[in-house]
Amino acid sequence: MEKLYVIKVGGNIIDDPLALSAFLKDFASVYEKKILVHGGGKLATKLADQLGVPQKLIEGRRITDAETLKLITMVYAGYINKNIVVQLQAHSCQAIGICGADGNLILAHKRNHPTIDYGYVGDIDRVSADRFIQLLTLGFIPVIAPLTHDGKGSLLNTNADTIAQEISKSMSASFDVTLIYSFEKSGVLTNADDDRTVIDNINPESYRELKEKKLIFAGMIPKLDNAFRALDHGVKQVIVGKAEHLRQLIVNAAGTKITNET
Amino acid sequence: MEKLYVIKVGGNIIDDPLALSAFLKDFASVYEKKILVHGGGKLATKLADQLGVPQKLIEGRRITDAETLKLITMVYAGYINKNIVVQLQAHSCQAIGICGADGNLILAHKRNHPTIDYGYVGDIDRVSADRFIQLLTLGFIPVIAPLTHDGKGSLLNTNADTIAQEISKSMSASFDVTLIYSFEKSGVLTNADDDRTVIDNINPESYRELKEKKLIFAGMIPKLDNAFRALDHGVKQVIVGKAEHLRQLIVNAAGTKITNET
């Protein structure tokens, strides 16, 4: 099967123009079919502060009310997405910047939670793999902003890691999919403050052990759970690593490789 | 040849949620192949005020500096574009919201003017008709935000009327193109304040006459010049009219029809 890279870029990279620019140059040079999913960065929060839009928290969870959704749509689907596209185009990469509402690519529903109303936050129901395949076949490189829709007229704020995972899963019937989570760290670390403590390989067994011994930073657990869900649904491998090492991550020469292999 | 409607929606409609919503319902019901180009509305200016970004004018012309371009990208390609897409999707219209940078659809250059530096304002060099045709063939309905790019990494603020005209021209080799300019007025009026003074038909001869007698509101002249340029390059007809009359505009039962026919 043909290779496909689904690459998520997030963390501080989104807010660091030089790091983002270097990453995009490397992304453009990836020869195989590829999809880029980007995170939201900190600009939306900054803009909310400037405009006096209060950030609502319930039980410590961030809520996406209508005003916040508006800001997120401007920043994620507008500013960040188009700035990525225009840079990739300058490297002759045929980027097309879209979100889950475009072409009905990613259908979701408003999160249903027994005690917390998250507002306009989406949990994914379905990825239109056919539509992604059509775009890839035409030579377009999809650049996905972390928004989905409910099919009834509402955009929904959706976690970019989860979007990358769901796209990877849906494409695994047609491609040999590698999912890459890239950010400012060198991989999954045993000491979150020490970039030299990268764990080279994680499989389900070692993951259980690392969690028991509390050797994994709590913030990494959702990302790794996402990674294993992807592997359980046909994705070949998941690689976690530094955005500026993208060329090495692609060839398994850096970062943490996560597989179901024992 | 197959019919294609290139429909521009602008003016106050963009800032009027109810009018926009009604227009989008009608747009979704247009059976033939179609492309939507939307204007920018007033939200970007409002946001600039709120954020204290000064609106620069030189010789009465609005300048797009880097900060303004950022706001415009957020509002046009983010908020407005995705709100249109998500509503069209709710009507089962396979909208895909993009701008001229996406897929390298519309290449432009920074405006070259002997005395005024307009900043990040683009004049169009080339529309990728092939890319539009590929998207239409797959059943996607392109929804275009008024931004282009220079191929060297800069987005450019570009007039939506001109974008609609250039797309129409580029598609006229492959389709029987009708270009529709829809906004809050009922058509080209002899009295800008009286919606009953619609001119039913304009051709080059009557246009010259209307201009000589100063029977056309100055603000309409660039739109009409755009219309005639489109007709001179293969576009079949241009219709100017009220967004809420879209269904009648499509069948030539409302608005002003502009043709080269004498």
Q: What backbone phi and psi angles, to 5 degrees, belong to B182?
A: -115, 140
Asked whether residue A55 is assigned to any structural domain, the reply reads yes
**Nearest residue to B224 (alpha-carbon basis) of B147, B143, B162:** B162
3-state SS class at B32: coil
Query: Are the C-beta atoms of A65 and A44 separated by less than 8 Å?
Result: no
pTM equals 0.97
Chain A interface, mutation test: which of B72, B85, B130, B141, most A Cβ atoms within 10 Å?
A: B85
Mean pLDDT within A89-117: 96
* Beta carbons within 8 Å of A164's beta carbon, 6+ residues apart: A6, A7, A8, A37, A179, A181, A226
Residue A214 in domain = no
Chain B residues near residue A76 by CB distance under 8 angstroms: 78
Residue A213 neighbours by CB under 8 Å, 6+ apart? none
> Chain B contacts of A83, Cβ < 8 Å?
73, 155
H runs (alpha helix) in B30-159: 43-51, 66-72, 81-90, 129-137
Instruction: Give mean pLDDT, residues A161-187.
Output: 96
Q: How many CB atoms lie within 10 A of CB B91?
A: 14
Instruction: Using an 8 Å CB-CB cutoff, list chain B residues near A73.
Output: 78-79, 82-83
Say if A84 falls within a structural domain: yes
User: How near does any CA of chain B get to the CA of A41, in Å?
Assistant: 14
- Give the Å distances, CA to CA, from A120 to A38, A69, A73, A156, B46: 19, 7, 11, 5, 24
How near does any CA of chain B get to the CA of A78, in Å? Answer: 4
Taking the Cβ of residue B152 and every Cβ of chain A, the question of whether any pair is shorter than 8 Å is answered with: yes
Are the C-beta atoms of A44 and A62 separated by less than 8 Å?
no
Nearest to A257 by CA among A230, A238, A244: A238
Distances (CA, A) of B120 to A122, B57, B255: 35, 13, 34
A 36-55: CB under 8 A from B: 47, 50-51
Q: Is position A231 within any domain?
A: no
B97-153 confidence digits (pLDDT tens): 999 999 999 999 999 999 889 999 999 999 999 999 999 999 999 999 999 999 999
pLDDT one-digit tens code per residue, B62-97: 899 999 999 999 999 999 999 999 999 999 999 999
Domain that holds residue B26: 3-258
ipTM: 0.96
| Domain-embedded: residue A170 | yes
Count CB atoms within 10 A of the CB of residue A202.
Answer: 22
Chain B residues with CB under 8 Å of A18 CB are: none
Q: Is A207 contained in some domain? A: no
The answer to whether A73 faces chain B, any CB pair under 8 Å, is: yes
Whether A205 is covered by a domain: the verdict is no
Instruction: Return d(Cα B258, Cα B231) in angstroms, integer.
Output: 8
Q: A184: distance to nearest CA of chain B, Å? A: 24
Residues B44, B71: Cα–Cα separation, whole Å: 6
- Provide the 3-class DSSP secondary structure of residue A181: strand
Mean pLDDT taken over chain B: 95
Q: Region A137-158: what's the mean pLDDT?
A: 98
Give A255→chain B minimum CA distance, Å.
Answer: 30
CB contact under 8 A, A78 and B78: yes
Q: State how many domains chain A has.
A: 1
Domain of residue A130, CATH code: 3.40.1160.10
